[in-house]
A and B are shown apart, each in its own frame.
Chain A
Amino acid sequence: MSEQAGRREPDGVEALYAEAGQWHVNAGGETIHAKRMPGRWRRIKWLTASVWLIFFLGPYLRWDGRQAVLFDIPHRQYHLFGATVLPQDFWMLSLLLLFFAILLAVATALAGRVYCGFFCFQTVWTDVFTWIEERLEGAPAERRRLDRAPLGPRKVGLRAVKHLAWLAIGFLTGFSFVAWFVDAPTLWWTFFTGDASTAAYVAVALFTVGTYLLAGFLREQVCFWLCPYARIQGVMLDRTTLVPAYDERRGEPRGRLRKEAGGAVQGDCIDCHQCVAVCPTGVDIRAGQQEGCITCALCIDACDAVMDKVGRPRGLVRYASLDELEGRSTTPMRRRPRVWVYTTILATALAGILYGLASLDAIELKVLHERAPLFVRLADGSIQNKYTLKVLNKTGEDMQVRIRVDGPPGLMLVGADAPLLARHGEVTPATLFLRLSPAALADESLPVRFVAAGERASGETLRTERESVFIGP
C-alpha cells in the first residue's frame, strides 16, 4: 500500500476526479424549483407567451358563416378566412415551411434561442405549470420542503389540486388542437355527448397525457435530451450572436460582498447564485453559453435586481455577443450582409405564399398530353394528339364546364361538344383530341392553350386556362 501511495499523482488523476465531480449532468435526478422574480424580461416573457392564446381562441373565429380557420381533413379542404386551399395548392406549404425554417435560423443566428426562451410550447407550458405550482405550494424553498415531507392530508390535498389543474390545462390544450380540425362550437357539444370521432378522443387523450407529462414532469429534460433543435443551435450561433451572457471581465474574480473595504481586488459578481436560482433549466450562466441555456433572459432580471441592491451598474449579465464581451469591434445589425440575405429569403417565401393565396382559382385545369403515342396519323391524313384534361372544381357547387382551345388555324377540337359536369370539390377527368392537317403543321411542336369556363349559380363566370403543345411528325 505504501508503494502504491508513493505512485499516486495528486495533480493528475485526482484533478480529473475532482473535475468529474463538478461535471453536473442534469439528467432529471432532482426537480428544479426555479425562483420567480419580477423584472423586464419576465414581463416580456409573459407577453410573448400570450401568443399561444391564439391557439386556444383561434378556432372560435367565424368567417362567412363558418369557422375562419378550419383544417377539414375528411373533405381535404383547408379554409383560411376567405380562401379555400386544396391539396393541389400544397406547394404553398413548402414555402410556408421554408419561411418558418429560415425564420428559426435567422432568429437563432441573430439573437440566439429566442424561440426556445420566449415562444416554445415546452417553455411556455412549463412556465404556466410552475406558476400554478408556486401559487399552490409556495416559493421554491417551501416546495422543496413539501417534496421531502411525508404524505399527509395537506400534501395530498395540495398535490391533488395541482395535478388536476395540470390535467385540465392538458385537456384544454388537446381540445383546442382538435378544434382546428372540426367545427369548434359543435365539438363542445359532440365531445361530451360521445358523438365526436374516435380520432378526436384519441388526440385529446394523447395531448392531455403528453402535456401533463412534458410540462409537469419532464420539463427542462425535454430541452436537454429530447429536442433536436436545442442540439443544432450550437452550429447556428457565432461570435456575433446576441445571447444572455455574463460579463466575465467585469465580474471576475467573483466573491462574497464584504462590508469593509480592503482585501483582495474583487469583480462585480458577488457570487449570490441568484442567476442560477431563477434559471428554469438549472444552468449557471456564468459558465458561458451552453446547451442547457434556452436564452430566456430571466437571469438578467435576477442579476440586475442584485446589482441595483449593491449599488453597481446593471448589465453584469446582459444580452451581448461574444465579440462585445471580448472587447472586439461589433457591426450593427443593419450593416451585416447576413441579415440582408436572410431577410431576402424570408421576403421571397412570404411573397410566394401571398401570391399563391391571392391567385387561387375557383376552378383549375390540368392538361396531360398523351405520350404513347405522341401523335397518330388518321385515315384522312390529319394528325391527332390526345389530351387528358383534369378539371378541379373548388367551389361548393357542381358546375357545367365548357372547354375550348386556342391554337394554330385549322386546329379542330374533338370530344368537347357537350359540357363537362365538374362535381364540387373533385377532379373530373376528360379525354379530348386535337386534329390538324399536316399542311397546317408549321412546326414539330405548336403551342396550344386550353380554356375551361363555367358559370356559377350566381351568374359569375369562372375561367381558367392551361398551356400545352400539339406535336406532329
Chain B
Amino acid sequence: MAENDPFPGEDNTGHIWDGNLRELRNPPPRWWMLGLWASILFVVGYGILYPFWPTADGYTKGLLGWTQIEEYRRGVAQVEAVRAPFEERIRGLTAADILADPELTQYTVASSKVLFGDNCSACHGSGGQGNPGYPILADDYWQYGGTPAKLVESIGQGRQGSMPAHGEILSATEIDRLARFVTELKSGEPGAEDGWSLYRAKGCVACHGQEGDGVVVRLPNGDVITVGAPSFRNGIWRFAPGGYESARYTITHGVNQPGRPGSREAVMPDFGASGRLGEQEVKKLAVYVHQLGGGL
C-alpha cells in the first residue's frame, strides 16, 4: 500500500480509505515505551521472586520464599527483642518490687495494656471503670484487698463470693428493715440501734464485720482479714444499681447460690491456675490494675 501512497512525506501508516482518509503515525515517545518495557520486565522478575501464579492447589512460592506470616513474625520478634531486657528484669521481682521502680512500672503499664484489654476489660471496662455487677478497679475499695500481693492472688486464683439467700430464712419485714439499714449506712449515717441489733442477731456481722465495713478481723499490725463481703460504709455498691431495692434483692436471693434462680452472680475466674495466663503475666496485670487509681 505504502508504495503508491498518494500523500508522500506525511508519515502516514499506509492505511487510506476513500482515497483521502488516512491514519497518521503518532507513536508514543521512546522513553515512554522504554518505561512500558521496563515495567513488564519488572513483573517477570517479581513473578519469579515472589508468590505470584495461582496453581490448582495453591500458588507458586517464589524464589525468595517471602510470606506475609513470616514478615509478621519478624515484626513480633522485633518487639520481643526490645522487651526482652525488661521482661528479664521483672522476672525475679514481685509486683510490689516493680511498683517501687518508676521505670519498670512505666514499662509494665505500657506493655500490659493489651493484656488488660484481652483479659479484663470485657467485664471491668477499658479503664477499670467497672460495669453493672463487675467491680470498679479504678477506685481504692477492694473487697479482697488492694495490695499488690492480694491483686496477684485475685487475678491468679480467682474469687468467688458467697451469700446465702435469706428469702425463706427472714420475714419480709426483717428483710425490709435490713435493706433500709445498709442503705442508711452507705449514705454515711451512723445507723439506727434497732438496725444494728437486727444486723447482729441475723448473722450479717459474721461476714460484713462488726462495723459493717467488711472487716472480719483487724490484726494488731493494721492488716485486716476479710472474706470478700463488701463494706456498707463507703458509698460503693457491689451490685448495680445500688440502693434499697437492690439491697433487698440481694438479701432475698443471695450471691452465687447454686440451684437458686435469681441469685446474684459474683465470680472472678482464675486466670493463673487455669493456665490462661503465666505467672509473669499475672504479675504484670496486678501492677497494671494497681496503678488504675486505687492500689493500696
Interface residues of A (CB under 8 A from B): 1, 4-5, 7-8, 13-14, 17, 20-21, 25, 27-29, 218, 221, 225, 370-373, 376-381, 384, 386, 418, 420-421, 428-431, 433
Contacts and interface: CB of A to CB of B under 8 A. Distances in A.
Nearest to B11: A21
B28 A27 contact: yes
B234 A381 contact: yes
B126 interface: yes
A420 B231 CA distance: 36
A64 to B, nearest CB: 31
A431 B294 CA distance: 12
A377 B127 contact: no
B29 A379 contact: no
B102 A418 contact: yes
A218 to B, nearest CB: 7
A291 to B, nearest CB: 16
A214 to B, nearest CB: 11
Contacts of A430: 102, 106
Interface of B: 10, 18-21, 24, 26, 28-31, 102-103, 106, 109-110, 125-130, 136, 138-141, 188, 231, 233-236, 291-294
Nearest to A378: B140
Contacts of A377: 139, 235-236
B127 A371 contact: yes
Nearest to A3: B19
B49 to A, nearest CB: 20
B165 to A, nearest CB: 28
Given A28-B31, A376-B293, A379-B140, 16 more contacts: A14-B20, A17-B10, A25-B26, A27-B29, A221-B31, A372-B126, A372-B127, A373-B127, A376-B136, A376-B138, A377-B139, A377-B235, A378-B140, A379-B234, A384-B293, A431-B291
A28 B31 CA distance: 9
A372 B29 contact: no
Contacts of B102: 418, 420-421, 430
Contacts of B103: 421
A428 B109 CA distance: 13
Nearest to A14: B20
Nearest to A218: B31
B139 A376 contact: yes
B64 to A, nearest CB: 19
Contacts of B129: 372-373, 376
Nearest to B129: A373
B221 to A, nearest CB: 20
A225 B26 CA distance: 16
A122 to B, nearest CB: 15
A386 B293 contact: yes
Given A376-B138, A381-B234, A433 B293 contact: yes
A25 B103 CA distance: 67
B19 A8 contact: yes
Contacts of A17: 10
Nearest to B141: A379
Contacts of A372: 125-129
Contacts of A421: 102-103
B130 to A, nearest CB: 8
Contact of A378 (B125, B139, B231, B291): B139
Contacts of B24: 20
B291 to A, nearest CB: 5
A421 B126 CA distance: 28
5 contacts: A373-B127, A377-B236, A379-B141, A421-B103, A431-B291
Given A1-B19, A5-B19, A14-B20, A429 B106 contact: yes
A1 B19 CA distance: 8
A335 B263 CA distance: 84
Nearest to A25: B26
Nearest to B139: A376
A399 B14 CA distance: 82
A379 B188 CA distance: 11
Nearest to B140: A378
B208 to A, nearest CB: 15
Contacts of B291: 431
A153 B207 CA distance: 108
Contacts of B26: 25
Contacts of B21: 13
- Max chain B C-beta neighbours (<10 A), residue from A225, A377, A418: A377
A432 B31 CA distance: 63
B44 to A, nearest CB: 23
A413 to B, nearest CB: 14
A158 B136 CA distance: 84
A430 B102 CA distance: 9
A20 B127 CA distance: 73
A255 B103 CA distance: 86
Contacts of B106: 428-430
Select the residue from A7, A373, A429 with max chain B CB neighbours within 10 A.
A373
Nearest to B103: A421
Contacts of B231: 379
B107 to A, nearest CB: 10
A13 B18 CA distance: 12
Task: Tell which of B30, B140, B231, B292 has the most Cβ of chain A within 10 Å.
Answer: B140
A25 B139 CA distance: 76
A433 B290 CA distance: 13
A379 B20 CA distance: 99
B7 to A, nearest CB: 8
B127 A370 contact: yes
A218 B10 CA distance: 27
A384 B29 contact: no
B236 A379 contact: yes
Contacts of A29: 29
A8 B18 CA distance: 9
Nearest to B213: A379
B185 to A, nearest CB: 13
Given A381-B234, A384-B293, A21 B10 contact: yes
A346 B106 CA distance: 44
A20 B25 CA distance: 11
Lowest 6 A-B CB distances belong to which pairs?
A372-B127, A373-B129, A379-B234, A27-B29, A4-B19, A379-B141
Contacts of B236: 377, 379
Contact of A4 (B18, B28, B125, B233): B18
Contacts of A13: 20-21
A420 B103 CA distance: 10
B38 to A, nearest CB: 13
A377 B28 CA distance: 75
A418 B24 CA distance: 84
A386 B138 contact: yes
Nearest to A23: B26
A370 B10 CA distance: 77
A95 to B, nearest CB: 32
A26 to B, nearest CB: 9
Contacts of B128: 372-373
A377 B128 CA distance: 13
